[in-house]
Structure formats: C-alpha cells, structure tokens
Amino acid sequence: MPRRSLDALSRIASVAALASMPLCPGVAGAGELYLRGGIGIDWSSDAAFTDIDCSSTVPAALYGCGTDSDGAPRRSLGDFGETAVLELGLGYAPGSAMRYELMVEHRPHYSFEGRANFLAPDRQQSVAANISSVSGMLAAFADFLEIGTFGRAAITPYVGAGVGVARNRIGMTSMTFPATTTSVRSGSRTDLTWMVAAGVTLPLNERLGLDVAWRYTDLGEVRTGRGEGGVTWRDGSREPIPIDFAPTQARIRSHGLRLSLRYSF
C-alpha cells in the first residue's frame, strides 16, 4: 500500500481510538442516520508545477532538468488561491460517540497563479491555469464532552479524519514571457485524498444541528495533459510553433472553514 494511504489510514485509526475516552453523543442519537449539507471556503498552500520526467524528449519536457538563475529546480512556483466548497454527507451514528460519514465535496474554481524560473528574476514569466476538483471520502468523527450551552442545548466539539479519492482537472495553462506565450494542454487525474477536521456542533433542535469546522485537505496531484501545446509570438511577428509537451504535476493542499446543517432522521 502507498505510504500516503498508510498515513491517511493511521489518522482515521487515531480518531477511532478516541472512542475509548469519555465522550458524549452529538446531535445524531444512537443508531441514527443523518444528512449533512454545507458550504465553505478553502485557501491553498504553496504549490509547484514540475516535470514528471524532466529528461523526456518525445514528448518534450516543459521545464527540463537542472536549475535556473535562481538556483531552484526548473518549475513554476505559486499557489491555487482560494475556492468555494460545496459538500454533502450521509452519516451514521451507531450508538457511541463515534460517527461515520460518506461525504462528497466539489471545489469548482481553484486558480493557479505563479511564476516560472526560466529567465532572470526580473523578467516577465507568469503562469496561470484554472483547476476544479470533485472528491469522495469515508470519514470518522468523534464527539467530545459538551463545552457550553446554546440556549438549553449542549455545544459539542468534535474531531475527524477521512480518506478517499479526488478527480482533479486543470484547464489550459498559459505561460507569459516577454515576447511569447506558451500554452500547455489541459488534463485530469484521479488520486488519493485525505483530510483532518476539528469543529463544534450547535444544536438548533432535537434533530437539527449547525456544524462549524476547520478542515485541512490534501487532494493529491493535478496533472497537465500530454499533447499539442505551443509557443506563439504576441506581436504576430512569427508563426506559432506547435510542441508536443509531456505532462507536468503539482500537489493541491488547502485549509479552510466549513458551515453545514446536519439533520438526524
């Protein structure tokens, strides 16, 4: 099993171990199903696009091996910015403080903005692309003892972890240099994803609760596509040059806030 899979599963095991601590049930009662829907926002961490195989010649590696004027490996460094998140979860509380949930999330619009390091640091070499992601996870949550009250209802903190798969898609990548623009083909990839979370539940009535949570998510890699891209001269002085580029890759990591409603049946 890949190391990332083992790391993600170990986090879920750690959450499950919390069941031996003195916890308390949350909004979902013993043996109840619940449905959760919510919205949120994610802020991405730094990311770098690099060649999967920097020595590839057919198709041609975009960056190539070695380092450039800044001493770093050839790459595009930046981040994916921020995106809204839509999520839906179907969960089950078996009768302890543990809850288990099948959850789906959609991130419609990451926007990578970065800088390549082909040229001198003061030269224009910006990189831009749009990314979207759909993920599905199996998650486990542990509800702790109440920390206060909301009206007559107890406020319950919780922690959680999940692991699953994500489908990450990137549109056409545009690399702008002083005189030219390089275009790289769009692509998609399915990869392992995992998350850890911490939050609180504020009961609104016996069956409805408001969840407020922090979430850290690793969505795995996004990859540009193999195929025809090319170089164009922005002033039109020369004919475009088509180039068969090899794929590049970057990892999507983010942290964010979630606001959702949880209804127990």
Q: Is 175 helix (H, G, I), strand (E, B) or coil?
A: strand
* Neighbour-count burial for 146-165, b at 16+ CB within 10 Å, e otherwise: beeebeebbbbbbbbbbbbe
Residue the block writes with tokens 């190391």:
3
Q: What is the pTM of this model?
A: 0.84
- Report cis status (omega within 30 of 0) of the bond before 59: yes
Enumerate the H helices of the chain as residue ranges. 3-17
C-alpha 243: how far from chain center: 30
Bridge-based pairing of strands 98-116 and 227-233 is unpaired
Each domain of the chain, given as residue ranges in start order, spans: 3-264
pLDDT per position in the chain (265 positions), as tens? 445 444 544 544 444 444 334 344 445 555 689 999 999 999 999 999 999 999 999 999 999 998 887 788 999 999 999 999 999 999 999 877 899 999 999 999 999 999 998 877 778 899 999 999 999 999 999 998 776 655 556 789 999 999 999 999 999 999 999 999 999 999 999 999 999 999 999 998 888 999 999 999 999 999 999 988 999 998 888 999 999 999 999 999 999 999 999 999 9
- What CATH code is assigned to 3-264? 2.40.160.20
Q: Where in the chain does DSSP place strands (E)?
A: 32-44, 46-51, 76-79, 82-93, 98-116, 126-143, 148-150, 153-170, 173-176, 180-184, 187-203, 208-223, 227-233, 241-245, 248-264
